[in-house]
């Protein structure tokens, strides 16, 4: 039988409004732009992928527009005409000819896995070694910036049995103001919920030490990326200084970053994100380094839509229990969706999609409505 070849790769920018402004230390989002990838094979199979970042260039060096341009101009020509079944060879081909651009590569790897799963009648999780669970815990980010609104939102999610773990985005305000905000929310929720914070690199080490001391006293369970990403030694010092664990996010992209941090004495927790690592296969390489080093895991998000979220869930499901759960709530932050059947969120988590590939089908009318016109 002749090889099934990659025939065509199409990228679309899709703009979806959020249910409320989502405030981070570096930007406030009212809309999320998804880069949707449609990869078609010579036998007619279509694979879906997604590459999504936060706030244009506010978060990192890849923007939605840049991701689309990178795929259309550089990465798609590397893949078109190549046999579709050998993902390792295709990953190596992209790595050899294009440096960095992990978000773009992640979207393409996802589309290749989705297509291969559909061709073979297997889920992406099965292609990655097999799912060890079919329901994953999901936290909710409280990011309105208003203390009472955040408290009300948290209680609503608890009553709905939608979420029982919460993360607060801080760092845009003075430390004392942020600590008061977080402390009031934790006091209101008490033992009913776990409360964590994400500083998104906003503090220097001295400020972080002062802030973390107060947050630890307030009962906060986890501190995410308090200082700039490349300050590995500082993050390690903070992890060793405090009882409350530090979560490395922007500091740890791939397996090499994970090894460097662990070898330097960091032992708390890593945030896994398929986009940072370059795809589902790549992020599992990081997870295995963490597991070997005794570092806890957390399934992170770039606030992807349903396609990107499903890809992450298939990867996380192969790892079994993640100590800090996941934050795969991206689709819930959006007012609408572009898929025929949304993910099923219930009982403080989300079900792993079933069916071949990602288990996701596009709603063509919704996609056409929200896609950006040239």
Contact predicate 14/367, CB 8 Å? yes
| Nearest-angstrom CA–CA distance, 272 and 266 | 16
347 by DSSP, 3-state: which? coil
Active site residue 169: yes
> Are the beta carbons of 116 and 123 closer than 8 angstroms?
no
Query: What CA–CA distance (Å, rounded) separates 231 from 253?
Result: 14
Torsion, Cα of 302, 305, 306, 309 (10° steps): 0
Residue linked to tokens 């989502």: 22
CA distances to 27, 80, 200 from 307, in Å: 24, 22, 25
What are the backbone angles phi and psi of residue 144, rounded to the nearest 5°? -75, -25
Active-site residue among 62, 116, 304, 327?
327
105 labelled catalytic: no
Angle at 34 between CA 146 and CA 43, to 5 degrees: 155
Q: How many C-beta atoms lie closer than 10 Å to residue 227's C-beta?
A: 24
- Find out whether 12 and 35 touch, Cβ atoms under 8 Å: yes
Is the sign of the CA dihedral 115, 315, 281, 131 positive or negative?
negative
Query: Which candidate in 169, 186, 273, 276 is catalytic?
Result: 169
- Enzyme catalytic residues: 169, 327
């Amino acid at each position: 039988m002749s090889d099934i070849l990659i025939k065509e790769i199409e990228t679309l920018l899709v703009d979806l409004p959020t249910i409320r402004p989502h405030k981070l230390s570096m930007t406030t989002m009212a809309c999320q732009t998804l880069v949707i990838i449609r990869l078609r094979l010579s036998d007619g199979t279509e694979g879906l992928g997604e590459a999504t970042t936060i706030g244009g260039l506010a978060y990192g060096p890849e923007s939605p527009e840049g991701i689309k341009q990178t795929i259309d101009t550089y990465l798609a020509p590397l893949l078109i005409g190549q046999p579709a079944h050998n993902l390792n060879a295709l990953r190596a081909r992209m790595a050899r000819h294009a440096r960095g651009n992990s978000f773009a590569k992640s979207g393409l790897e996802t589309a290749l896995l989705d297509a291969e799963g559909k061709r073979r009648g297997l889920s992406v999780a099965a292609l990655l070694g097999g799912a060890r669970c079919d329901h994953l815990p999901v936290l909710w980010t409280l990011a309105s910036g208003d203390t009472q609104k955040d408290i009300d939102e948290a209680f609503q999610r608890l009553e709905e049995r939608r979420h029982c773990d919460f993360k607060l985005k801080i760092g845009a305000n003075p430390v004392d103001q942020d600590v008061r905000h977080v402390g009031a929310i934790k006091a209101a929720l008490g033992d009913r919920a776990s409360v964590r914070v994400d500083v998104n690199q906003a503090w220097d080490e001295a400020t972080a030490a002062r802030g973390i001391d107060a947050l630890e006293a307030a009962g906060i369970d986890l501190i995410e990326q308090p200082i700039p990403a490349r300050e590995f030694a500082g993050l390690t010092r903070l992890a060793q200084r405090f009882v409350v664990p530090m979560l490395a996010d922007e500091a740890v992209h791939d397996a090499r970053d994970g090894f460097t941090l662990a070898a330097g004495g960091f032992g708390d927790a890593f945030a896994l994100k398929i986009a940072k690592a370059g795809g589902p296969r790549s992020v599992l390489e990081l997870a295995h380094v963490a597991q070997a080093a005794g570092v806890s895991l957390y399934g992170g998000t770039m606030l992807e839509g349903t396609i990107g979220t499903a890809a992450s869930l298939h990867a996380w499901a192969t790892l079994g229990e993640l100590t800090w759960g996941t934050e795969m709530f991206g689709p819930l932050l959006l007012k609408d969706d572009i898929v025929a059947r949304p993910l099923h969120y219930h009982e403080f988590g989300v079900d792993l999609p079933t069916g071949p590939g990602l288990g996701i089908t596009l709603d063509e009318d919704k996609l056409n409505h929200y896609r950006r016109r040239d």
